[in-house]
Structure 1
Amino acid sequence: MNKEKNKPINLFKLNLNDLKSNEISIEGFRDKELENDNNLPTTVLSACSVCPNQPEFSSQEELRYHFKLDFHNLNLKRKLQNKSLLSEEEFENFNFDEESLEGSDEDSEADTEEVVKNSTPFYSFKTDLFDGNKKLLIYKHLFFDDENDKLERLRFLQGGNQTVCLLMVGAGHFAGAIFKCNIDAKPILQKTFHRYTTRRKQGGAQSANDNKGGLAKSAGAQIRRYNEMALQQEIKDLLISWKAELKACDLIFTRVASTQRKLFFFDESILDYHSQKVRNLPFITKRPTFTELQRCFWELFSVKVVDVEIETVTEKVKKLNLNEKNKLKPLVNTLVEAAVEEVDPIAPIDDALEKLMEFLHKGKFPQFKTLFESCEKEKILRRLRNKDGVSLLHKAAKASQPLFVTYLLEQGADPTLRATIGGNTRPYDECSDKITRDAFKDFNLKNPDAWDYDLAGIPKAQTEEELQSQQEKKLEKKRKQREKDKLRLKEKKLEKKEKKELLKLEEEQNKEAIFKPANIIKLSNTEQSNVGLSPEARMRLDREKRAVAAEARMRSQQNKCGACNKTLAGITSFHKFNFKYQ
């Protein structure tokens, strides 16, 4: 029978008289309704929250392995004793005896109770407001460790005069706000800004990429480095300007990567990382925006109503057969297994398949692998299809995810299985790029007897010898092509040279024809006089001859009769009536 989902209660609307201070429980619990509530934040164990400067782990196996290290166990014990944590370098140089890790005869259940205290992010309160075995859960991060009266602390927060600051930064986005602790939750101060600091399609800050190797010299890398420094300076200036308000805040919640803590905790900052009022947000957040800050504020001050099935970690520890000299280590392993149980629930097969499809589509391989290993492999791999009629291998091939394809084939996924909806295609038919097809071919090459690859439509990948031979053929083809191009260029140059020489020869022959004396016997007197003259001299002589002829024509025209146009040469001229006659 499905349980009715309990809605969270606003802390500022909660009547604290309905709670009993002597019935506060700090024991761990497992509540399926709370774990499956999508509206509540879920903690994904991808990094160790105890050991300092630890990167995120790529799989749950690596995380489990880290939990079993002496380095982690020592830090866990030192944290329970309120001692400073050790880095890996400090751990290597640390002077300790066997007692430091294994415990001593004087160890008591105090260590167990202290570990139990930190096994859940909530304090649970019993109440008579609801029927049945229900409890109210409130985040521990709203309380101080040295406070004994939890109800008094809640009354203090409900007073309406307290302020809470939330600061978040990530991927070049910053958001900060100071809220009044009341039902309105109006921000006293708020500021958001963004700088381009993350490499597109690659992820990661530019500074993180620079730390891995040489400095990139591209224009984009230089812009990102400048923006990182500008973002750091802007946050620094803002926190300094908020110094008075931050000092008056009752609690300050931050969300910042361990490698970027200097953005909030610098020399002149009012924030002290080791201060009791400065703490991390106890749940997963989205991109830093003002809307996300408001959501986080209401999440912190929300009270969860749950049906609790209590199985304390203390009871689990008591089931173990512990000897007197080895108490802490089994306890740590028990807590690790309990944490893994909460992270890796075995879901129903249909729900698990849809969740696997979602992880595959988003490319989240660690989450996919963790959930996959907790499911019934044979059903999911060989015969099970989703509502679209495709298997996981179909989905991986169509999404161009060669890593998922290789993993699924290694786990026994059937490449001959056809889709029931659409084109009745096989997984290999869904491939859209060469890399994904190569993943199928490589599996065929390494496991030739695993499947009927002709039925699956998967060709065999080339061996190293075939690839080498193909590469040599390509190189030989390129070499021959280069020789052909070189020969063609040489012939072209030779042809051009011959053409140039031919033109030069024709030009010389023309010059010889101009200056060579002609046969004088066949020439007239005028032509003979012109022999040996240059073209310019002949042209000048012709112009002079034409000028003389023109003058003669003009003179002849002046001595003609105006009526009959006859020449008047040799006739005596006379005058009559003011006219001259010749």
Structure 2
Amino acid sequence: MSSKIDITKPKTVKLFDLNDYEKLINGIKVAACMITESHQIVDEQSVLKRLNALTINGASDGNCCSCCGVGPFETRAQQTSHYKHHWHTHNLKRKLFGKSPLSLGQFSNRQDDNSSVSGSDSETEGPNSLPTDLFAAATRHCKAFFTNSSGQVFCIYRCILHHKKEELSTDGEGYAWVERCQHLTIPGYLRWAVLMVSGGHFAGAIFSGAIPVVHKTHHSYVTRRGQGQAQANRDQHGHMPRSAGASLRRYNQEQFLKHVQDIISGWATDLNGCSLVLYRAVGALNQGALFGKNSPLNRDDLRVRVLPFPTRKPTYKEVKRVHETVASIEVYENLELFQKALIAASAKPTTKTGSDINAERSKKTQKSPGKPIDRAKSRERTPRELPMQMISSEDEGPCYIDSETPVDWIKVLSEQKSKGIVLNSRKDLLNDNSASGNTSCSEQDNVIDKKTKKKKKKKAEEIKPLKHPISKIPTNVKRMWMAISGNELSSLETILESWEGDIEVACNTQDPVDGNTALHKAAIAAKPDMVLEILSAGGDPCIRNRHLQTPYASTPHHDTRIAFRMFQAQFPEKYNYNKSQIPGPLTPELLEQEKEKKAAQKRAKRQRGKEKQMEKNKTNEFLLLPDAEKVKADQPRCFLCGTFLPKKPFEYESFKFCTIKCLQNHRSLRPLHKSATWSVYA
């Protein structure tokens, strides 16, 4: 078993933070694991020399191999089989590159069997050769790896740097990679579009840096729950369902495609200005929504690239997460940490032993769920036996056999029934068995009785109210309480000056009846002067009584509450006022401002009342006028209710109204008004 590799999490740099990114690419180079061997430029003369060296030795009449040093061959078939062997092919390639041939033993003992065909032996020769596993992991990875002048290694997604049809890793030195990384700092290059379509969900956005400029989401019901695919895909695998739900999903699929295509065509100008268009659309239906008719996007466009990692359901939140993930750069502090992380991420799982496989199988058998229930079919109910019904006696009626029924009861009943007379009931037999020493039944009954008694005791204890222990109250404390509750004294100055003992303990002593302290009693009695004296003497405003009320909450009087707030303003650190429910400190200046504010509110209320009364009088005067004078009135009002008319009143002839109801009522009452006005003018 190989030991686990300790991997530290790399730090992350965003492409949008241009200052950090420019510092990161200072002295940028392509990592060694990304560079392939450059194509060797060989002149014609060197090639001819190597080919002449590979010819068969003429001294041996063509029976020896000058490349591998084998021969002479006894037969033509033996010589042909040698030339077809991988060993000979491998040595030919080695000699083309100016390397010495390998013997058959060296070729057989090679660790990498596949390298017999490849011609490069970079694993075994030369300290500057690249590690094969690291190179393979880097070339298959969805990110490109770079180093900077400070020795850091950082990773950038390939989909940002190049299209999958472009090949940048065969230039030998990686100048094309470096150039693409430097392009990311160009203004306007970070204008990207992210589009996602899946299962009737569409989500897309266009980002300028880290800011979403345009975004849109759309959803249609095209997939039946539990079916796992869209209705259009389901129709391609056999007969088409004719249910109402299937028809609805087909119609929604067509409308969904049209709606998404309209959205993308409306974004045509914005998409043309994007340097990258990243999308996720799996399947012909989803891709048809993005690259369908009249779409400004083309799959052959090098700006249009597929997201290189799996995504969740298309939502606006997921689009923002994908955009942030693509723009994230992982930075490793040194090359060792990077190599450990890369090899660990691309490492294949270790081979499992037979015991591990058996353990996994046993776990699967234990955790494997049962067969899925088909809701459309009726379930088979397990048959259950009904209890036997027997007649015990006339007063008891039918009885049923259960666990408490004595064994001999059925036998006794059958004997009595055969004689035609049933004398003993089930209750009598139970009593007889308990008296005759049936220990098993009696023990069970005793256990059940004990359990029921314990439950009853617990319930009774829960129902009973908790009694608070009554402690003796000193007489001087009782006198102070009487002085606070009485109407004779309005100040405790004389009592507190002549007090003997700890005055703070006396002020915080709770009454055993209701739990009120001296501060509670002074607050309830509406004596603000006593409240201030008790607070100064050490009365805690955070103590609660039996009703869970603090002294401030127990008083309904306005002046008393102001006294609490004034004391808090004077002594802000004496008590923990957060638990006392006092809303906040109050100074005399703030108190005056509150009084002025309330007086202004009262004046404004009185003024509004006067204006309402004046308006009511004007309305009544208007309503008393005949219709002929209402038409000549200065202010346009409703002819029936007298309210001001809207911009477009309801009218007939020369009469105007605020609502259609007033118009109808006026029409029904108009003959009376008309006759009355005519009689007056006549």
TM-score band w.r.t. shorter chain: 0.3 to 0.5
> What TM-score do the two structures reach when normalised by structure 2?
0.34
Whose RCO is larger (CA < 8 A, sep 6+)? 1
